[in-house]
Amino acid sequence: MALARSVRRVFAAVAVVATLPALAAPVGAQESVGAGRASDGRDGGHVRTAAPAEQTRSVDATGQNRTVGDHEGYPRRTQLREFPENPDDKAVKLGLTPYHDIAPQLNDLQERSDRVSAEVIGQSTQGRDLYLVTLTSPESPREAARQERWRELIEQDPKAAAADERLAREYKAPVWINANIHGDEWEGTDGALDVIERLATSRDADDRALLDSTRVYLTVSNNPDGRVAGTRVNAAGFDVNRDHITSTQPESRAVRDVLIETQPLVMIDEHGYTGTTLIEPGTPPHGQNYEYDLYLKHAYENALGMERAIGELGHDETARADIPFRDFEPGEWDDWPPIFTPMYSIYHGAVGHTVEVPLRVNRAEYDELPVSELRRRSGINREVAGATISAAVEYADRNRPELIDDQIEVFRRGWAGEPQREIPDGYVPGFGEEDRYSVAFPRAYVIPAGDAQRSAKAAARLVDHLVAHDVRVRRAEHTFHLDGTRYPKGSYVVDMHQPKRGLANVMLADGKDISGDVPQMYDISGWSHGLLWGATVKAVGASGDEAPAVRTSPVHAAAPTGSLPPSPRADLALTLTDGADVRAATFLLDRGVPLTRRGDGTLVVPASAREHAEVAADRFGVAFAKARTGGSEDEGGDHGGGEQVARPVVAAAASDDEVAVLRDLGFDVRTVSTDTLNAGFDLGEMSTLYVSTGLVHGELNAEARRSVAAFLADGGGLVTRGAGGAAFNEAAGVLPVTAVEGRSDANGVVRMTGGDGPSGAGTGADAPEHSFVYSPLWFTGLGADVRAEQRYGDDPLVSGHWLPAGDAGGGPADAAGQASVVSGTGPQGARAVLFGTEPLFRDHPKGLYGQVASAMFWASST
């Protein structure tokens, strides 16, 4: 059994009504009729079923729960599979719980207590089980079903939920604790296990009463691979706490589903180490899509309660906490981006907090401090984690009625399409003008079908992603007009009168340029699925407008998008608009299909390979077109010719996220670095060298430099990204350009314009009009044989944070009109493409992957 997920009822029409708003309702607030629910079949349509109660379940060799009973109450006892002892688990040195001891502890507790249930909600990158523990008083199947119905009612029909007196009395307050999302921040797991042990076995009347009115859900280790290895990232090299809006990793998808299916009132994410315990709420800028008034009043009071709890531990190191909202300057620890677990959880109706335990025991300290000192520190950290968890649970129990009302109000405002509330100065101590962030929601988003859609596959992926995140999407059943634009049947409509409108908007909107609001940011400041995921997305109307006049049906999964033209004897054309197109191309190359490449980057598939193309169209959802004939190569005609394409074999000196994307696209990738080349890595079998980080030409020994020079002289291609790649290009003497660096922490979504014409690598031909930057770079002084493939727009920054680097410039105005991507052939004969943008960043800007692949194919085709 995995996390309980029953198929939820679809409410065809949902009436909404004001329910005890925290602030006065705005002028012009309207009621709205909402349409049905999007989907329960997240991630490919798999629907999880509810777990049995009062029975024993076991876990098979793959880690999947197998049901032995047929009931659905609590406890839901699962015999978790136990992993072999691993003395190299990094937690052992700290006196903390190694991963292999977690399952035995939970199995034992399930035997001893009827208040604890453990289940497997997925597997980590390396196949370790991810555990969810539920603490609650026993419930019959009928009682558990009633709780589920009330939870659904709160989201689906907040008017009815607000009027349900029995719900108000008996709905159990859900609280979710997430621990160890960063693998080398261990103690949250141990603090959670301590709380589980106490509440599962306590004879104290207050503890027992708490579990009568509360359900506490704990994901005890969100990153077990990192826990064992002592790394912040997971085994794929991703920071899981930066992945929640993109969901590339199994660990983030698992807890996303926990969040959606438990709908917590309060959420805590346990981290470390900040010297002094840190407890959110954060500094400005605050996420502009939140119902921030309903969040902040609870977050601030809960933080104060957690601060009191750690003070009562009696350690000098825990006498106080840092509460960023209260204690830090704007921009030092913000809650702006939706990438972090607590910030993401706010969009699902939770009051989310990051908690950072104080005393560092990882990295250099792990290796250098005596074991006794490490264990002293980890012991204090463990107590802090346990105290903050207990205090948060108690806050939820103590403030249960108001928290329930306020979660109902979050969803009611969404269904009603009401404007956000204006929050007055002093709403909580210190709240002022610098804390005011809000947004005017559009009436809807339309993801068009037909010719108006840049990429049907990208649109389908975006729709499925929205549905997986509990955003409601509907499909138009006939042609309609909206804001003067005609949209064909099959277009997708995201009506913004829905309970999680903030989440829909934070994904689809352009975002905001906040460069003038704060001097710095903690992490990224701009993102947009609407601009960066490769699909055409249109915002239409204002929130107070009438609903789009079109009959729609709820979407559970996007419609198929793969197709071939009807002419069976015609050659086929494949335009690399999307990563799926790239995957189809590498699939065909793997099967020995000869592909040729036109000057505009289009790939031509011979008619004789139509059967293979049919498989690719079905598998990857790509649309092949009939290949044109005639015309010049630059115009797209192939004359039956063009360059022969081979599947690139890439030597990549790159970050883990870049390597992951390149491999997902089907490229054969071998990771390299300065050290591996100095050790004699053979570049002879490679077709392309991709350089962004970890390879410094000046640090190569003489033999490695000769190897690089020979590779480039023998037709090897070079593709680079960022300052590290540009420096390598310069040192290797490939393209004559000058790389200009913007401010290192500048990041966001940027406008792009076309390059210098159709010749060159062709990476700008079908590239989106927007890109992503982090530490932006541009190129000047282009040599005669160097072509700008793409340039920054006149006013580049759409959303994010990008300031000049003092008197040195480097701001958006300096980048305007400059070359962002360049290509050319170096004096050795090597083809090279240099990116000043970040097209593979954290596997997020998916609409840019075709651009990178075009560079790879061109650079390796000589």
- The enclosing domain of 601 has a CATH number of 3.30.70
Shared domain for 163 and 271, answered yes or no, is yes
Assess if residue 68 is contained within a domain: no
Shared domain for 301 and 233, answered yes or no, is yes
Q: What is the pLDDT of residue 58?
A: 52
- The enclosing domain of 786 has a CATH number of 3.40.50.880
- Residue 578: which domain range? 572-644
Q: What is the pLDDT of residue 766?
A: 80
What's the token pair of residue 685?
A: 């079998």
Assess if residue 404 is contained within a domain: yes
Assess if residue 108 is contained within a domain: yes
According to DSSP, residue 51 is labeled P
- Last residue within a domain, chosen from 621, 644, 667: 644
Shared domain for 577 and 515, answered yes or no, is no
- The enclosing domain of 353 has a CATH number of 3.40.630.10
Query: pLDDT tens digits, residue range 383-416?
Result: 999 999 999 999 999 999 999 999 999 999 999 9
Closest CA to 100 of 128, 67, 121: 128
Is a pLDDT exceeding 50 seen at residue 433?
A: yes
Q: What is the pLDDT of residue 634?
A: 39
Shared domain for 483 and 590, answered yes or no, is no
Shared domain for 518 and 374, answered yes or no, is no
Catalytic residue among 119, 187, 280, 356, which?
356
DSSP 680-709: T--GGG-SEEEESSS--GGGS-HHHHHHHH
Could you give the CA distance from residue 268 to residue 564 in angstroms, rounded to a whole number? Answer: 49
Query: pLDDT tens digits, residue range 660-692?
Result: 999 999 999 999 999 999 999 999 999 999 999
Give me the number of domains the chain comprises. 4
Is a pLDDT exceeding 80 seen at residue 579?
A: yes
Give 482's contacts (C-beta < 8 A, 6+ positions apart).
444, 446, 540, 541, 548, 550
Shared domain for 164 and 299, answered yes or no, is yes
Query: pLDDT tens digits, residue range 340-377?
Result: 999 999 999 999 999 999 999 999 999 999 999 999 99
- Pair 155, 413: CB distance under 8 Å: no
Q: Which helix (H) or strand (E) holds 644?
A: strand 643-645
Shared domain for 387 and 277, answered yes or no, is yes
Shared domain for 594 and 533, answered yes or no, is no
Assess if residue 597 is contained within a domain: yes
User: Measured between alpha carbons, how far is residue 141 from residues 52, 372, 426, 772 in Å?
Assistant: 8, 49, 46, 49
Assess if residue 31 is contained within a domain: no
Question: CA angle, 807 as apex, 803 and 809 as ends, to 5°?
Answer: 50
Q: What is the pLDDT of residue 762?
A: 83
Helix residue spans in 596-644 (DSSP H):
610-620
Shared domain for 190 and 330, answered yes or no, is yes
- Last residue within a domain, chosen from 614, 644, 674: 644
Assess if residue 629 is contained within a domain: yes
Assess if residue 106 is contained within a domain: yes
Could you give the percent of the chain with pLDDT greater than 70?
90
According to DSSP, residue 322 is labeled B
pLDDT band at 714 (very low <50, low <70, confident <90, very high): very high
Shared domain for 636 and 652, answered yes or no, is no
User: Measured between alpha carbons, how far is residue 704 from residues 203, 240, 319, 668 in Å?
Assistant: 69, 35, 55, 22
Shared domain for 306 and 381, answered yes or no, is yes
Shared domain for 204 and 349, answered yes or no, is yes
| Whether residue 703 lies in the annotated active site | no
Helix residue spans in 243-285 (DSSP H):
250-262
Query: pLDDT tens digits, residue range 10-68?
Result: 333 332 222 222 333 332 333 222 233 233 333 333 322 233 334 445 554 444 443 33
- Last residue within a domain, chosen from 596, 618, 644: 644
Assess if residue 171 is contained within a domain: yes
Query: What global pTM score does this model have?
Result: 0.92
pLDDT band at 759 (very low <50, low <70, confident <90, very high): low
